[in-house]
Amino acid sequence: MLVAKNPVVATQSFHVIMASFVQSVLRYGRNGPGLFRTCTGYYGMVEAQGQGMLHCHFVVWLKEHLIPQSMVEQMLVDCNYERTVIEWLEGILKCELPDDEMVVPKTVTQPVLSKPDPHSCQPLNTSVMSNTKFFCLFSNDVQILAEPCNWHIHNHTCWKYLRPLEKQSDENCWMQMDGITHPNSTIDKTGSITLQCRHPWSSNYNNVCLYFSLCNMDIEFIGLGQGAEALMYYITDYVMKVALPLYKGLATLSHAITMLGTTNLNPEMSDMSCHYLVHVVNLMMGKHKMSQQQVMAHLLGNGDKYCSDSFCPLFLGTFKQYVLDHLQEGMGPIDSLNMLYLCQCQDDMSNTSLNVDHTYDEMVYLSFAGESITVSNQLQDYIYCPAQPFLEHVSLWFFISNMDKVPLSAEHTQLAHVEG
């Protein structure tokens, strides 16, 4: 209730926590490594929960970290490197409570919430205690926080993607909390790492992050195998969002209304156009939910993401379909075995044919520069880029990450028409 009545305070508090996380935990741009070693980049997308509370999904890049395939090859030939990687992961990813020295049975029940609320506990005064006493009290506080924050209990969210004949069971939990434990960390032949998990219902957490944030969290390592692919899908779906924010959509409509007022339309046509624009605005407001804290974050200048660099979305599906269509036109039916390396992951090699429907996902993105709005389509931009020598052999990756469309001024536009 207090948070709902004070969205400004809640938004400011969230921003302080996120800024502290980047500065003190990741230590991006500062001398010395952070909690997870040296951070070279990060991207965090802010979202709102059902009750309006803000939360953030972060992706963190670390310095001198081998790519997954190279890491697997190194672990296969170097036992010391394999042991170092496992010890590092077990040190930052916890999947059991601090008191869990043995595997906990699946039938364990969640303890009753202690009083007072552990989310409101005060930080320890480390200046007046020894290291031994601090670690003892720190572990106790993490235990008190992890039980209510990271103990998974099935609810309606776990079953929202079930098919009609599927049962509401642990194995079908959408959160992948199936109650399976692993007494020791293992690595299979594909390089997929399964970390030790002694508690059946504890989601992954980092004890330091849990302690300073006082809320539930999840943390995963992006490695190799099916687990990494599922995690990348999760990141693509939740973090790298490309949907148009509501405030940008409204800015677009506002610009359209302004431009409409400067055109020489007859009164009847103008009134009808304004009516349709108002109808579109009402539809957007009804379909796109925004919490008070999201609105306040925009008004306070905090934005909807925290990132170290500028990131460009790549609509890969559109390019993939375009390539498949042209290959099929020139080669006839496409052998899926030869094309899957280009278009799909290796785990999908069981497919025997490719479905080419000759339709493209016409994704467009908008660029705002003052009162000017530019509409772009990546596929068309890449295909019809200017015939300049330095653009003849530019790869798609380089084109998307380094090229941008900038609207010309009125003088340059007139000059281009004259020269053309």
Output the tens digit of pLDDT for each of the chain's 420 residues. Answer: 566 678 888 899 999 999 999 999 999 989 889 999 999 999 888 888 767 788 898 989 898 888 777 888 888 888 899 899 999 999 999 999 888 889 999 998 888 766 566 666 667 777 778 888 888 888 888 988 898 889 999 988 898 889 888 999 999 998 889 999 999 998 887 778 889 999 999 999 999 999 888 888 999 887 766 666 666 666 666 555 545 555 566 666 666 666 655 555 566 666 666 676 666 666 665 656 677 888 888 888 888 889 998 777 777 778 888 888 887 776 555 444 333 333 333 333 333 333 434 444 556 666 666 666 677 788 888 888 877 777 778 888 888 888 877 766 655 666 666 565
Structure tokens that stand for 147 in this block: 């039980």
* pLDDT at position 354: 36
Strands 39-48 and 365-369: unpaired
Distance CA 97, CA 219 (A): 15
* pLDDT at position 109: 87
Number of helices and strands (H, E) in the chain? 15, 7
- Nearest CA-CA partner of 208 in 217, 200, 199, 197: 217
pTM score, two decimals? Answer: 0.70
Distance CA 92, CA 210 (A): 11
Distance CA 329, CA 268 (A): 49
Buried-exposed string 323-360: b where 16+ CB fall within 10 A, e elsewhere: ebbebeeeeeebebeebbeebeeeeeeeeeebeeeeeb
- Nearest CA-CA partner of 215 in 14, 75, 397: 14
Over the Cα atoms of the chain, what is R_g? 26
Q: What are phi and psi of 374, to 5 degrees?
A: -110, 130
Strands 186-187 and 54-62: unpaired
